[in-house]
Amino acid sequence: MVSTVDLNTVDGLSEQEAIARLKQDGYNELPSAGSGSILSFAWETVQDPIFLLLVGGGIIYWILGDLQEALILLGFVFFITGISLYQEGKTEHALEALRDLSSPRALVIRDGERKRIAGREVVRGDVLVLAEGDRVPADAMVLSCTNFSTDESLLTGESLPVRKVAAAGTVEMARPGGDELPFVYSGTLVVQGQGIAQVQAVGAQTEMGKIGNALQKVKPEPTPLQQEMTRLVSRLFGIALLLCVAIIVIYGITRGDWLKGFLAGITLAMAILPNEFPVVVTIFLALGAWRISQKHVLARRASAVETLGSARVLCVDKTGTLTLNQMAVQQLFAYNHAENPHPYNLELHLHESLPETVHELVEFSILASQRDPFDPMEKAFKELGDRYLAHTEHLHNDWILLREYPLSPHLLAMSHVWQSADGKQYEIAAKGAPEAIADLCHFTPQQQKIMAAQISEMANQGLRVLGVAKASLVDAPPPFLPPHPSLNPNHLPDEQHDFPFQFIGLVGLSDPVRPNVAAAIQECYTAGIRVVMITGDYPGTAQTIARQIGLMQMGAILTGAELDLMSDAELEQRIQSTNIFARAVPEQKLRLVNALKAKGEVVAMTGDGVNDAPALKSAQIGIAMGQRGTDVARESAALVLLDDDFSSIVQAVKLGRRIFDNLRKAMAYLLAIHIPIAGMSLIPVLFKLPLVLLPVHVAFLHLIIDPACSIVLEAKPAEATVMQRPPRHPKEPLFGRKTLGLAVLQGVGILVIVLAIFVVALYRKQGELDARALTFTALILANLFLILSESSSSRLSLKILKSPNKSLSRNNFYNLLSRKLTEKAFLAQKRQGCYMTSSKALWWVVGGGLVFLAFVLYVPFLRQLFSFSFLHPIDLAICLGGGAIALLWFEQLKFLNRPQRVIQSKSIKPIQENQRVRSDANKHP
């Protein structure tokens, strides 16, 4: 069914009207519980084990009559609550910015121009432009449509798509269900055709909104990493609880002081309870997804952040990803039955008019396209006509479109049936893949051979080739001619094959390569990542593009037709030596993904169409196009490429490796620092020595430990060699033997140093207060040196303080604005302070720790609360020496734990190295 409205006459709402209605009706969102308030965050903090232990310790001190100790512990309660609120707020702001970016896109007409906005910003009265694969953002009335069908199974349960018609005048919205309704509904999917609709209801007023309350009960599932961490924490929590009970019993029985036994148990619990582990994982994944979005890649699922660092193969489209998707007509080959026809190259005749021999070819390529095109190729045809054929009889702006025959998987060609303004002429224009056009024109084998030679010549120049054909109903025999002058669409044939098409010629279009793709491809090879190009273009075109971007051609190019003839076993063998697939259709991507996965690869696959959805879902990392992709593709993918640029994928992989590296550093740091804290809480009880650490001391340490993880280590930039090593194995645990052993050695090293200082102080009879002050100071300094060491895995710790590693430099800031990311996302970045350099964050934590240490050592009131004695310069020198020994120990361990060998080769060796590493990883997962 066809009903048209000229988009040039539709102005839509003005921006001022849209802003006013947005304020009046609110955002176009389903009912939800909303983001957490400060009170809800505070309540969650109150339930934190460390919070409860601090309160318990304060109560015991109060019972013992030590009001000062009780008050100081309550003061730490407020400090730790503040840190927790900051972490929660930082994570919530990042998630809020991601929600804005991940909101479904909607194409609207405002102030007479098309504009793509977030679906949540659609308002009543907006004019929507809908096409196949789009998700309808709001309930709307159809103004115009062509072969328009939607899937409303989400609302009605109907298994088949329903046809839509244009509304005759203004009508009231009706309930969904059944064919021939002039309404579309929020959340439904356009499965065929295109249409223009005016929004009637948004948010809670839509049909989806009326049932949206049920969605509030749906909670996101934890990622595999979070599940692994939950299991680890549960086991450690049980062990910690048993040890705490044992310490209380031992202290009470051996010393007869049960209240101090409870204090010792609380101290040990605070020292070894692993409550920070799941918090750190959540913060890293949330902020990691946000950081990836700053590289114009939206992570729709947190699991993608985990998987990015292990990507081994990147399968990418050519058009729009490797190229700019800015088509321009470069060659015209008019098939005029001449003995030796030659293509007309527009680049060689820039300032000349088009010869008459190609006028018809341009005319019918425009007629076979949308009148107001969105597709880059159709835009190129229109620009060519406007430039060379304006004010001629070859442009038909007053003709009426009677019917459109869309592309189908079985016939890669589309046709438009036109009626002239006087109603006397009926023309059919077709364009599509040259093979499909040749099929419509019933070419003989000899004609196909001649055309194939010309296509090959054009494709070898890097051109995308389309065929164009025409048919006229004036000379056609019945039943094509209707019995009355006005041709009724119902009398037209059901298939394009039934028209008497004549071949007109070929059109060659060029699409320039993105300028930064070649460097990104080389970076992939340096990182041991294989790049596979999948394109619908001809082998010659694909080979030309591959040569321009430096894509390694490991073997012969495989075409879609050859792919269909292969068994799965044959494909699995062939895919190891093939990096370019040409003339491939979207449905074949799924076979390619499955073949790569069968060989043990971790696959990242790009796609933009409805047919790409199965492959995107099957790939470990599905990447949908954000600008030209369909909503179906975006919903099936784990990542959305906001700028459709291949180099953004490479940057996301780099960030994925960085996030995993930083997370591993943070977890190793937590494990290492808990060992000496737990040791100095447990050993004095077992050997009847004076207690070293009390709850107030462990609380002080947490004021350094928590920011070190959430601010310093999370914000640490990637190592210089992060993209010069093979991808990690996807099953590699966060706490592998190497990481676990290193953390244990670091922690034991600190424990030995502070225990030695404590024992020597007692042996010299310096007293309990002196021994505690010396031990605690040495522990703080060793902790700060450990933070310095964990901040880098390959450089000397002192050098990192001079590194100008900015999370968001001024240039990046202006680049962010130029990319037109949402203002709200930028404000969220500013609120989080992510423009601070990592070095500054490190200085704040280290400097803050030293300042607070100075306060508790030399402010008499605080020194008394912490049960310390006055430390002299020689005492500080001893503690600093202990910290320096700890730093040397950390650096020696780092040297022994050198990272994997860096990949240096720029030839085929990176692929071979990748395969060798993968083979070794499969043997030793």
Q: pLDDT tens digit string along 52-93?
A: 655 665 665 565 555 655 666 566 566 656 656 665 665 566
Asked if 582 and 553 count as a contact pair (C-beta separation under 8 A), the reply is no
Q: How confident is the model at residue 815 (pLDDT cuts 50, 70, 90)?
A: very low
| φ, ψ at 534 (rounded to 5°) | -120, 120
Strands 558-559 and 580-582: parallel
Query: Which residues lie closer than 8 Å to 877 by C-beta, 6 or more apart?
Result: none
Residue-wise pLDDT for 377-411, tens only, equals 888 899 898 888 887 777 888 898 888 888 776 78
Q: Does the pLDDT at position 596 exceed 60?
A: yes
Contact between 700 and 854 under an 8 Å Cβ cutoff? The reply is: no
Distance (Å, whole) CA 216 – CA 203: 14
Q: How many beta carbons lie within 10 A of that of residue 456, not counting itself?
A: 14
pLDDT grade for 705, boundaries at 50, 70 and 90: confident
CA 391 to chain centre: 47
d(CA 417, CA 476): 14
Tens digit of each residue's pLDDT (9 = 90 or more) over 171-197: 888 888 778 889 999 888 888 788 899
Q: What are the residues whose beta carbons fall under 8 Å from the beta carbon of 923, sequence distance 6 or more? A: none
For the cut 80, the answer to whether the pLDDT of residue 602 exceeds it is yes
**Phi/psi of residue 217, nearest 5 degrees:** -80, -10
Query: Percentage of residues in the chain with pLDDT exceeding 70?
Result: 75
Start-to-end CA distance of the chain, whole Å, equals 58
Which pLDDT belongs to residue 478? 45
For residue 503, what are its two tokens? Answer: 């071949």
**pLDDT on residue 33:** 46
**Arithmetic mean of pLDDT over the chain:** 78
Helix extents (H) in 403-470:
434-440, 445-459
Confidence of residue 753 (pLDDT cuts 50, 70, 90): very high
Which of 698, 862, 672 has its CA nearest to residue 265?
698
Residue 425, pLDDT score:
82
* Confidence (pTM): 0.68
pLDDT of residue 720: 81
Q: Distance (Å, rounded) from C-alpha 618 to C-alpha 620?
A: 6
In this structure, what DSSP letter does residue 474 have?
S
Asked if residue 365 lies in contact with residue 395, where contact means CB atoms within 8 angstroms, the answer is no
| Catalytic center residues | 317
pLDDT at 661 > cutoff 70: yes
Per-range mean pLDDT, top range of 2-11, 435-444, 455-464: 435-444
- Confidence (pLDDT) at 160: 66
Exposure of 811 by Cβ count < 10 A (0-12 exposed, 13-18 middle, 19+ buried)?
Answer: exposed
Let me know: does 502 contact 471? Beta carbons within 8 Å.
Answer: yes
3-state secondary structure of 317: strand
Contacts of 841 (CB under 8 A, 6+ apart): 711, 712, 715
User: Which pLDDT does position 5 carry in this prediction?
Assistant: 58
DSSP state of 299: E
Quote the CA–CA distance of 529 and 532 in Å, as a whole number.
10
Of 471-485, 880-894, 898-912, where does mean pLDDT reach its minimum? 898-912
pLDDT confidence of residue 487: 42
| CA gap 593, 616 in Å, rounded | 9
CA dist., res. 496 & res. 483, Å (int): 21
Going by pLDDT thresholds of 50, 70 and 90, the confidence category of residue 745 is: very high
Long-range contacts of 859-866 (CB under 8 A, 24+ apart): 864/68, 865/68, 865/69, 865/72, 865/696, 866/696, 866/697, 866/700, 866/773, 866/776
| CA quadruple 514, 516, 519, 520: dihedral sign | negative
Burial 186-198 (b: 16+ CB within 10 A, else e): bbbbbbbbbbbbb
Q: Residue 352 — very low, low, confident or very high, per pLDDT cuts 50/70/90?
A: confident
**What DSSP assignment string belongs to 897-924?**
TPPPPPP--SSSHHHHHHHHHHHHHHH-
Q: Which pLDDT score is estimated for 917?
A: 38
Task: Give pLDDT, residue 722.
Answer: 87
Angle at which helices 768-790 and 695-707 pack, to 10 degrees? 10
pLDDT band with cut points at 50, 70 and 90 for residue 706: confident
Contact 610, 589 (CB under 8 A): no
CA distance 532 to 195: 36
- Among candidate residues 527, 330, 507, 499, the one with its CA nearest the CA of residue 429: 499
Cis peptide leading into residue 477 (ω within 30°): no
pLDDT at 230 over 60: yes
Helix 445-459 and helix 539-549, axial crossing angle in degrees, nearest 10? 10
Residue type, 831: R
Please give the pLDDT value at position 528.
92
Confidence band (pLDDT; 50, 70, 90) for 514? confident
What lies within 8 Å, CB to CB, of 619 at 6+ separation is 315, 593, 597, 603, 604, 605
Q: Cα(612)–Cα(607) distance, rounded to whole angstroms?
A: 5
Banded model confidence at residue 665, pLDDT cuts 50, 70, 90: confident
- DSSP state letters, 714-755: TTPPPPTTTTSSPPPPTT--TT-HHHHHHHHHHHHHHHHHHH
What pLDDT, on a 0 to 100 scale, did the predictor assign at position 529?
93
- Residue 911 vs residue 151, higher pLDDT: 151
Residue with tokens 């988009």: 7
CA 507 distance to own-chain centroid: 37
Residue 127 pLDDT level (bands cut at 50, 70, 90):
very high
Q: Which residues contact 615 (CB under 8 A, 6 or more apart)?
A: 586, 589, 590, 592, 593, 605, 607, 622
Q: Name residue 428's beta-bridge partners.
A: 417, 471
Contacts of 731 (CB under 8 A, 6+ apart): 925
Quick check: 499 pLDDT over 60?
A: yes
| pLDDT attached to residue 163 | 86
